[in-house]
Structure 1
């Protein structure tokens, strides 16, 4: 099984647990927007990981827009460490699987080769770990 397939399986299990707990109101009385946001971010993360693992080319610099940008802010996910473990106890299994994946030498080499992996994994590690594992830094 490839690194991307293992990561996708971890995310799939986490999405199922989030949906099941969210349906029971684990995130509070108005938890539906948070569950949808979390679900979509996890799915996007798995898809982006697969694209990066296939060897996506570096992005080209974009031309700057003139004038200020208006940004519409929707609901946001919590930012404290291990915030997902309390409402979704099944997330501890996903956390241990993710830690095992990040300790794999092949995964470390893959993640260390491209800084986009670290940017992708950092929010997930923050949500699942009290002490996040060290994500390898890209070569200088």
Structure 2
């Protein structure tokens, strides 16, 4: 509503003001459209990254499960190897215990000479060598 004590505004200045405001409105609409497109693009990027993040998390879980399975398998294999060694030792000990009290098997006994022979006792050395050659 126009005030009574204000001078009337010319229609040219109103038309100029209207054009100026229309131009500003168009510029704002363009800017708004560009920003809306940018927002949509960023939202799409965000959705792609979230999807990739979920895929990577599931892959991490798969790999962690594989590691746990491999560790469990390795531990089980190690336990089985230890069990086999213990069983073989028990069998060996059982055989030794079963053999207690039995006559020992015949052994190839040869005379054992300890220490060097005195240098002036060549005759004794020849006898030892001939005895060894005879047994061989």
| TM-score (ref. length: structure 2) | 0.21
Structure possessing the higher radius of gyration over alpha carbons: 2
Which structure is richer in relative contact order (CA contacts within 8 A, separation 6 or more)?
1
More helix by share: 2
